[in-house]
Amino acid sequence: MGKKSAVTGQKPLKRSIIIFTLGFIVLLCFVLSIITYQTFSRSIYRAYDKRMDDILAYVYSHIDDEDLSECVDTYVESEKFKELFSFMDSIMEDFDIHYLYIIAPSDDANEHLMINIISADTAYGRATDPDGYYLGLALEEVYDEENFNLYYEALLKDDISHFKNFSYWGYDYSATKPLINKYGEHYALLCVDIEVDDVEREIRQFTLVNVILICLLGVLFTLLFIAWMNYNITEPIKRLERSVVTFAKRSHGQKNPDLLEYDDPSIHTRNEVESLSNAVSQMSTDMKIYVKSILDAEGRVEDMKSQVSRMDMVAYQDALTHVKNKAWYDKTQDRVNDDIANGRAKFAILMADLNSLKKINDTFGHEHGNDYIFGACHQICIIFDHSPVFRIGGDEFVVLLENRDYENRDVLYQELVTAFEISSKDDSKPQWERYSAAVGLAVYDKDTDKDMNDVFKRADEIMYQKKLASKMARTD
């Protein structure tokens, strides 16, 4: 068994990095394999589509639609029909394709009947299968429903179709072009097939070669990375860990700083690990001199921080809503007035006065009245989440809009008004959760406003007018 780590449950860095690297390489190989397979698959099928389309176009250029349409109607082979038959056989000789043929699906799709018109073959195929589909015009075959529908739907289209089909002739990838006579009738399909197995075999071979290359590169990268990491990181860190752990055990409970001895691991990697080792060594030296003063200073700082936090909470935070209180508003007012004096001021003030608070207190008690105040304040804070919110009275709140909220003041103002309107009309909630408030917004005008209080008064007046209008509306 290997040596146990100094900390229970600790995972050695070297093992973790190796596992992560191997996992990353495996995942990378898997992802790249899928991407390679899909990309090459799409690419090769596009290439086959182009090749098959070219074959169809080339064969179609030798078809006389009127003559062939008449042959299909009469089941009588013309000279042009025979020439087309020979020409299609020559195409089979010259191109590596599985089938080249012309068929006509029955008009009655329910019969699944397919009429063979021309089925091209190679000279070898004619020699080994003399009873093949040479004549073809009178040959009718019943297709299975799925394959018949593929061909039938392709016949009704005006352009080339591509699809895979599986039948007793094999598993093929087909391209079909509808043949149209002078009456606009789609009387037959010109088709070319290639074997899907050939396509998939080519895709698999290409993918396999690429996967092997990716895996080899991944293994090479992993070995080089682990060797470099072992020399520059993991082994130096391991030595540094031993020194630090030994120092920690030695100094645990040690009250005499003079006895704090650190064994320098002498790391010379010329990177951050060496810098860290030097820093730890220097720190251990400094600890001998300053540890007591640092601990004392830390205690004093924590005491001061706790006192300041308590003072801030008592002096500037509203106890109920936890937003800033009137004292902090007055302090903020001094800062804003300085900005006004220096020509830097750009702000707006929103004043909100809660409606129906006295009615809720009288009807449901002050506990629910506090719930109403807290909930309404929370609604204001949600919308103005980038601006300070002040509770300056029992049911009065002020928001100082600067920067981004100032630029969006009209939108945010309307959002708040709408939110209170919706909340106040929500009959599904108890009365103390139907928040309502009169809201006024005033923007600082350097030509008329001497200080922040002037803007506050205008916001308060607008709010007051809104409150009166709301009361009159409820009275009516």
Model pLDDT for residues 115-127, shown as the tens digit of each residue: 888 888 888 777 7
Confidence label for 2 from pLDDT (cuts 50, 70 and 90): very low
pLDDT of residue 133: 44
pLDDT of residue 476: 54
| Chain-centre distance for alpha carbon 455 | 45
How confident is the model over 435-462, as a mean pLDDT? 95
- Least confident segment among 232-246, 293-307, 410-424: 293-307
Task: Compute the Cα dihedral for 66, 69, 74, 77 and give only its sign.
Answer: positive
pLDDT of residue 4: 45
Confidence label for 399 from pLDDT (cuts 50, 70 and 90): very high
How confident is the model over 389-415, as a mean pLDDT? 95
| 18/319: higher pLDDT | 319
Whether residue 193 is found in the same domain as residue 81:
yes
Whether residue 78 is found in the same domain as residue 178:
yes
Q: Is 50's pLDDT higher than 90?
A: yes
- Least confident segment among 7-16, 33-42, 45-54, 144-153: 7-16
The arrangement of strands across the sheet holding 324-325 comes to: 324-325, 389-391, 396-401, 348-354, 437-443
Asked whether residue 28 is assigned to any structural domain, the reply reads: no
Q: For the segment 222-253, what is each residue's pLDDT rounded down to a tens digit?
A: 788 777 777 777 777 777 777 777 777 766 66
Whether residue 335 is found in the same domain as residue 276:
no
Q: Is 389's pLDDT higher than 90?
A: yes
The CATH number of the domain holding residue 83 is 3.30.450.20
Whether residue 297 is found in the same domain as residue 441:
no
Whether residue 390 is found in the same domain as residue 296:
no
Whether residue 147 is found in the same domain as residue 67:
yes
pLDDT of residue 3: 46
Q: Is 176's pLDDT higher than 60?
A: yes
Q: Is 135's pLDDT higher than 90?
A: no
Whether residue 353 is found in the same domain as residue 446:
yes
Confidence label for 1 from pLDDT (cuts 50, 70 and 90): very low
How confident is the model over 53-61, as a mean pLDDT? 93
Asked whether residue 80 is assigned to any structural domain, the reply reads: yes
Task: Compute the Cα dihedral for 215, 218, 220, 223 and give only its sign.
Answer: negative
pLDDT of residue 28: 79
Phi–psi pair at 372, nearest 5 degrees: -65, -45
- Of 236, 270, 303, which closes a domain? 303
Classify the phi-psi angles of 211: left when phi > 0, otherwise alpha if psi is within -120 to 50, otherwise beta: alpha
Whether residue 298 is found in the same domain as residue 330:
no
Nearest to 349 by CA among 373, 371, 332: 332
pLDDT of residue 397: 96
> Which residues form the domain of 391?
324-475
Residue % of the chain over a pLDDT of 90: 40
The tally of domains found in the chain comes to 3
Whether residue 116 is found in the same domain as residue 260:
no
pLDDT of residue 438: 94
What's the chain look like in SS3? CCCCCCCCCCCCHHHHHHHHHHHHHHHHHHHHHHHHHHHHHHHHHHHHHHHHHHHHHHHHCCCCHHHHHHHHHHCCCCHHHHHHHHHHHHHHHHCCCCEEEEEEECCCCCCCEEEEEEECCCHHHHHHCCCCCCCCCCEEEECCHHHHHHHHHHHHCCCCEEEEEEECCEEEEEEEEEEECCCCCEEEEEEEEEEHHHHHHHHHHHHHHHHHHHHHHHHHHHHHHHHHHHHHHHHHHHHHHHHHHHHHHHHCCCCCHHHCCCCCCCCCCCCHHHHHHHHHHHHHHHHHHHHHHHHHHHHHHHHHHHHHHHHHHHHHECCCCCCEEHHHHHHHHHHHHHHHHCCCCCCEEEEEEECCHHHHHHHHCHHHHHHHHHHHHHHHHHHCCCCCEEECCCCEEEEEECHHHHHCHHHHHHHHHHHHHHHHCCCCCCHHHCCCEEEEEEECCCCCCCCHHHHHHHHHHHHHHHHHHHHHHHHC
135-136-138-140 Cα dihedral, nearest 10 degrees? 160
Confidence label for 392 from pLDDT (cuts 50, 70 and 90): very high
Which two three-digit tokens encode residue 471? Answer: 């009361």
| 135/369: higher pLDDT | 369
- Least confident segment among 84-98, 267-281, 444-458: 267-281
pLDDT of residue 465: 93
Q: Is 132's pLDDT higher than 50?
A: no
Rounded Cα–Cα distance for residues 250 and 163 (Å): 77
Rounded Cα–Cα distance for residues 163 and 55 (Å): 16
Nearest to 292 by CA among 247, 330, 316, 260: 260
How confident is the model over 130-142, as a mean pLDDT? 55
Whether residue 340 is found in the same domain as residue 445:
yes
pLDDT of residue 6: 46
Asked whether residue 222 is assigned to any structural domain, the reply reads: no
Q: For the segment 327-368, what is each residue's pLDDT rounded down to a tens digit?
A: 999 999 999 999 999 999 999 999 999 998 999 999 999 999
Q: Is 326's pLDDT higher than 60?
A: yes
The CATH number of the domain holding residue 443 is 3.30.70.270
Per-residue b or e along 100-134, where b marks 16 or more CB atoms closer than 10 Å to that residue's CB: bbbbbbbeeeeebbbbbbbbbbeeeeeeeeeeebe
Rounded Cα–Cα distance for residues 178 and 191 (Å): 9
pLDDT of residue 263: 72
Asked whether residue 140 is assigned to any structural domain, the reply reads: yes
pTM: predicted TM-score of the whole model, two decimal places: 0.44
Residue 171 neighbours by CB under 8 Å, 6+ apart = 164, 165, 195, 196, 197
pLDDT of residue 235: 78
pLDDT of residue 259: 62
Whether residue 150 is found in the same domain as residue 181:
yes
Q: How far is CA 390 from CA 321, 381, 393, 395, 414, in A?
A: 10, 10, 9, 11, 20
Q: How far is CA 18 from CA 21, 105, 386, 464, in A?
A: 5, 62, 46, 70
pLDDT of residue 457: 96
Rounded Cα–Cα distance for residues 373 and 358 (Å): 11
Strands 113-119 and 99-105 turn out to be antiparallel
